[in-house]
């Protein structure tokens, strides 16, 4: 089905007398409404995602996992990362809400274009932060496991008995990096799927605004 905005645009461009022209303000209002709705959904999804991970973390954080972190000597680090994570996520949720309010009250096409770019930039920063914090958690847990985990001695013995300890750790590192790469690609795909459709709508709205400015 043809997009409502495309229908309005075609009506605006028609020269036939029987079809009244739509003004610049009417087309702009439609684009602004669509952009505002899209950013509102980004805001809602970020809240849902925050609540989901918070609940999941709450149920997975047991007494046993707490003791394990202390045994691995990473409790202070993971606690710090968790605090930073929640603070930054709350900041991003606030930014999404602020972007929504700005777009909803913008009265200039140039400012609306600027605000759309700000939204895209904020979403990109949000995604990269989530990827970065995940990698940090993964690295900290790997450090604790290799140095203080139940299998740490077995891994060290396997390295020394491999004949070439340097080669063993090179292979281990390559395999670990490959594992991280696969996980990061899956996370990136998840966010691409989650926010990609909404960002594509904003890109389309931005292109329409540029045409109106010409």
Give CB contacts under 8 A, 24+ apart, made by 107-112. 109/28, 109/209, 109/212, 109/213, 110/213, 112/28, 112/31, 112/32, 112/35, 112/209
Q: What are the tens digits of pLDDT across the range 92-103?
A: 999 999 999 999
Q: What are the tens digits of pLDDT across the range 107-140?
A: 788 888 899 999 999 999 999 999 999 989 988 9
Q: What are the tens digits of pLDDT across the range 169-178?
A: 777 788 888 9
Q: What are the tens digits of pLDDT across the range 148-166?
A: 877 666 666 666 666 666 7
What confidence score (pLDDT) does residue 2 get? Answer: 47
Band of residue 26 on the pLDDT scale cut at 50, 70, 90 = confident
What confidence score (pLDDT) does residue 110 get? Answer: 84
Q: Which of 8-22, 120-134, 152-166, 195-209 has the lowest mean pLDDT?
A: 8-22
Residue 96 makes CB contacts below 8 A (sequence gap 6+) with 39, 42, 43, 46, 119, 122
- What does the alpha-carbon distance between residue 122 and residue 138 come to, in Å, rounded to a whole number? 24
The owner of tokens 């087309």 is 27
- What does the alpha-carbon distance between residue 7 and residue 2 come to, in Å, rounded to a whole number? 7
Q: What are the tens digits of pLDDT across the range 47-90?
A: 998 998 888 888 877 778 888 888 888 899 999 999 999 999 99
CA dihedral (129, 134, 135, 139) positive or negative? positive
Residue 4 makes CB contacts below 8 A (sequence gap 6+) with 30
Residue 8 has pLDDT above 70, yes or no: no
The angle at the Cα of 72, spanning 70 to 78, to the nearest 5 degrees, equals 65
* Secondary-structure percent of the chain, ordered helix, strand, coil, rounded to 5: 85, 0, 15
Length in residues, the chain: 214
Band of residue 17 on the pLDDT scale cut at 50, 70, 90 = very low
- Pick the closest to residue 131 from 174, 183, 199 (CA basis): 183
What confidence score (pLDDT) does residue 212 get? Answer: 74
What confidence score (pLDDT) does residue 1 get? Answer: 42
Residue 21 has pLDDT above 50, yes or no: yes
């Amino acid at each position: 089905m043809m997009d409502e905005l495309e229908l309005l645009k075609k009506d605006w461009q028609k020269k036939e007398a029987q079809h009244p022209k739509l003004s610049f303000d009417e087309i702009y209002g439609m684009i602004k409404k669509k952009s505002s709705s899209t950013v509102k959904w980004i805001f809602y999804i970020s809240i849902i995602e925050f609540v989901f991970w918070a609940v999941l973390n709450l149920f997975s954080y047991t007494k046993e996992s707490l003791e394990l972190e202390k045994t691995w000597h990473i409790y202070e680090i993971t606690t710090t990362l968790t605090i930073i994570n929640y603070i930054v996520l709350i900041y991003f949720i606030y930014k999404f809400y602020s972007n929504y309010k700005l777009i909803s009250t913008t009265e200039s096409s140039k400012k609306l274009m600027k605000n759309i770019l700000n939204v895209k930039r904020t979403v990109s920063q949000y995604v990269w932060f989530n990827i970065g914090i995940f990698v940090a958690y993964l690295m900290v847990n790997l450090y604790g496991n290799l140095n203080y985990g139940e299998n740490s001695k077995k891994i060290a013995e396997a390295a020394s008995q491999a004949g070439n300890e340097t080669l063993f750790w090179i292979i281990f590192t390559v395999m670990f990096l490959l594992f991280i790469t696969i996980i990061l690609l899956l996370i990136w795909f998840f966010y691409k799927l989650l926010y990609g459709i909404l960002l594509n709508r904003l890109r389309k709205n931005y292109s329409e605004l540029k045409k109106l400015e010409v």
